[in-house]
Amino acid sequence: MYKKLSTYILIIMLSFAASASEDSISQFTYGYLKRVNDFLSEGDYENAEKELSIISKRYFLNEQSYERSLINQLWGNLYATIGDYQKAIDSYEASLRFRKIPLITNLQVRANLAQCYFQTKDFDKVIETLLTYKNIAEQRGQEFSPQNMILLGIAYYYLENFEEAYNYISAANDNSLKYKEDWLKYELALAVKLNKINDAIDVGQILVYINPDKKEYWKQVSGLYYTQAKDSESLAGLELAFDNQLLEENKEYQDLARYYLYKGLPQKAVKVLIDGLNKQKLDENKENLELIADSFFIARDRKNGIIYLEKSLGLEPDPDVAFKIARFGFEDENWNLANKFFNKALQMGWDKTPGRIELLLGITQYELGNLQKSLSFFNIAKEEEDTKTAAEGWISYIDEIVKNS
C-alpha cells in the first residue's frame, strides 16, 4: 500500500496573472517558477533543485508573500517526488502559512501534504489534513475526489476505525468513474470484517466481473454464499437429494447452490437453480435471480449474468441493480447497454450521489457521438458539488471540439 508517492503526486500547473498585485506574480517570477516546474515535470531534479536554491536565497524572503508560498510548494513537490517526505511536509506546511493562497492551489497542496503524511505512516495527520480539505471544499463548492476519499478511508483502516474506513472507501468506489480493483479489495475486506455480508457479496460480484480470471475473487464470493448456507442440516444430503430429484423447498435449492459455489462449481450452482425455477420449486424472486446472475458471473459467463440481473430488475424495480448493470456496460465500453440502464436507474430515482448518474450519462452520450445530449447531462452534473469539476472539464472539452469542427 505504501506506493512511491510519485505515482500519486500532482505537479502544480502554474497559471498566474501578470499583474503585480499582492496575490499575483510578475512575468519574471512566473518564468522562473515555470522553469522549475518544467524541470520537475521532465524528471530533471538536479536542475530543479539548483534553480530553487538560487531563487530561494536571492528573492522573496518574506514567508508571508505569495511568491514564497509558491516556492515552498515547488520545494514540496521536489522533495515528495524524490522520496524525502519529511522535507516535503515542512515545505507544504510553509506554503500554507500564506493565508491568501488561491483556493485550488490551497486544496492541491493539502492533498499532496496528506499523501506525504501517508508515506510517513502518520495516519492521524492524514485524517486531519483531508478532513480540513473536505471542509474547505464543501464550503466553497469544490469536489472531494475519490482519490482523497480512498486515502482517508485507508488511513482510518490503519488506525482500526473500520466503520469510517468502510464509509469512505465505499464512497470512493461509488464515485470513481471506472472500477479500481485495489479499492474494491479494501471494500470487500472491510465489508466482511464488519459482517456486511450482502454488501460483501455485491462488491465481490463486481471484482469477479472485472477480473474473472482471478480465482481468489470467486472463491471469496463463494465462501460468502456458503456462510449463508452452512446452517443447513446436511449439504451432502441435499446433493444426494438433488441427484434423485427429491428437492422440494426453496431454501434447499438455495443452500445447495451456495454449497456448489463454495466448492468452486458455479456451473452446478446454475444447473440447480435453473432446475428449481423450471420445476417451480425455487421462487422466481429478486434474491434468487440475482443468485443465478452471480453464479453465471463466477462461471465467467457475463452475458447470462447480465440477462438474469435484467430479469431481476423486470420483476422488482431496483435503481441500484439498474445502476450496477449500467456500470458493467460502462466498464466494458458497451455504451448502448450503459445508456439504457443509466436511464432506467435515473427514472427509478437513483440518487446515491447527486449529479453522478448525469455525469456518467454525459460520458456515455459523448461516446455514442451525441454531443448535444452529453452537454445537457454535463450541465446538470455541474450544478452538483461532487461532480462540478469533472462536468466543467467535459463541457470545456466538448466546446473546444465543436469550435474546431
Q: Is 163 exposed, middle or buried (0-12, 13-18, 19+ CB in 10 A)?
A: exposed
Is residue 119 one of the residues assigned to a domain? yes
- Assign 22 a pLDDT band (cuts: 50, 70, 90): very low
Give yes or no: residues 309 and 393 share one domain.
Answer: no
Find the DSSP H helices in 176-214: 181-193, 197-210
Give yes or no: residues 114 and 35 share one domain.
Answer: yes
Residue 247 belongs to domain with CATH number: 1.25.40
Is residue 40 one of the residues assigned to a domain? yes
Over the chain, what is the mean pLDDT?
A: 86
Give yes or no: residues 91 and 24 share one domain.
Answer: yes
Q: Which of 316, 350, 375 is the last residue of a domain?
A: 316
Q: Which of 103-112, 132-141, 194-203, 371-380 has the highest mean pLDDT?
A: 371-380
Give ∠ CA 283-284-289 in degrees, rounded to 5. 115
Is residue 308 one of the residues assigned to a domain? yes
Placement of cell 510517513 in the chain: 120
pLDDT of residue 205: 86
Q: Please check the confidence at residue 105 and state whether its pLDDT lies above 70.
A: yes
**C-alpha cell of residue 45:** 531534479
CA 120 to chain centre: 24
Handedness of CA 94, 95, 98, 99 (dihedral sign): negative
pLDDT of residue 59: 65
Determine the Cα–Cα distance for residues 35 and 125; give it in Å rounded to an integer: 32
Is residue 184 one of the residues assigned to a domain? no
What phi and psi, each to the nearest 5 degrees, are found at residue 67? Answer: -60, -40
Placement of cell 471540439 in the chain: 401
Residue 118 belongs to domain with CATH number: 1.25.40.10
Closest of 38, 34, 111 to residue 80, by C-alpha:
111
Give yes or no: residues 305 and 332 share one domain.
Answer: no
**C-alpha cell of residue 284:** 422466481
Closest of 363, 360, 366 to residue 344, by C-alpha:
360
The tally of domains found in the chain comes to: 3
What phi and psi, each to the nearest 5 degrees, are found at residue 37? Answer: -60, -40
Give yes or no: residues 11 and 119 share one domain.
Answer: yes
Determine the Cα–Cα distance for residues 212 and 191; give it in Å rounded to an integer: 20
pLDDT tens, residue by residue, 348-381 = 998 888 899 999 999 999 999 999 999 999 999 9
Give yes or no: residues 329 and 311 share one domain.
Answer: no
Q: Which of 123, 141, 162 is the last residue of a domain?
A: 123
pLDDT of residue 68: 83
Is residue 142 one of the residues assigned to a domain? no
Q: Please check the confidence at residue 65 and state whether its pLDDT lies above 80.
A: no
Give yes or no: residues 238 and 342 share one domain.
Answer: no
Is residue 396 one of the residues assigned to a domain? yes
Give yes or no: residues 235 and 342 share one domain.
Answer: no
Give yes or no: residues 41 and 88 share one domain.
Answer: yes
Closest of 304, 305, 298, 368 to residue 334, by C-alpha:
368
DSSP of 228-282, one letter per residue? Answer: HHTTSS-HHHHHHHHHTT---SHHHHHHHHHHHHHTT-HHHHHHHHHHHHHTT-S
Q: Is 209 exposed, middle or buried (0-12, 13-18, 19+ CB in 10 A)?
A: buried
In one letter, which amino acid is 370?
N
HSE at residue 79, side-chain half, CA atoms within 13 A, is: 23
Placement of cell 456518467 in the chain: 360
Is residue 281 one of the residues assigned to a domain? yes
Give yes or no: residues 294 and 354 share one domain.
Answer: no
Residues 201-216 have a mean pLDDT of 87
Q: Are 92 and 116 in contact (CB under 8 A)?
A: yes
Is residue 156 one of the residues assigned to a domain? no
Share of the chain above pLDDT 90, in %: 55
Range of the domain at 356: 325-405
Closest of 49, 105, 113 to residue 75, by C-alpha:
49
Give yes or no: residues 102 and 47 share one domain.
Answer: yes
In one letter, which amino acid is 345?
A
Q: Pick 58 or 200 by higher pLDDT.
A: 200
Q: For residue 172, what are the contacts with CB-CB under 8 A and spacing of at least 6?
A: 146, 147, 149, 150, 153, 183
CA distances to 229, 376, 396 from 402, rounded to whole Å, are 57, 14, 10
Q: Are 253 and 272 in contact (CB under 8 A)?
A: yes
pLDDT of residue 128: 97
pTM of the model as a whole: 0.76
- Assign 6 a pLDDT band (cuts: 50, 70, 90): very low
Q: Which of 79, 108, 123 is the last residue of a domain?
A: 123
- Assign 64 a pLDDT band (cuts: 50, 70, 90): low
Determine the Cα–Cα distance for residues 224 and 236; give it in Å rounded to an integer: 18
Residues 293-315 have a mean pLDDT of 92
Give yes or no: residues 308 and 331 share one domain.
Answer: no
**C-alpha cell of residue 109:** 497542496
Determine the Cα–Cα distance for residues 44 and 322; give it in Å rounded to an integer: 49
Closest of 184, 191, 182 to residue 163, by C-alpha:
191
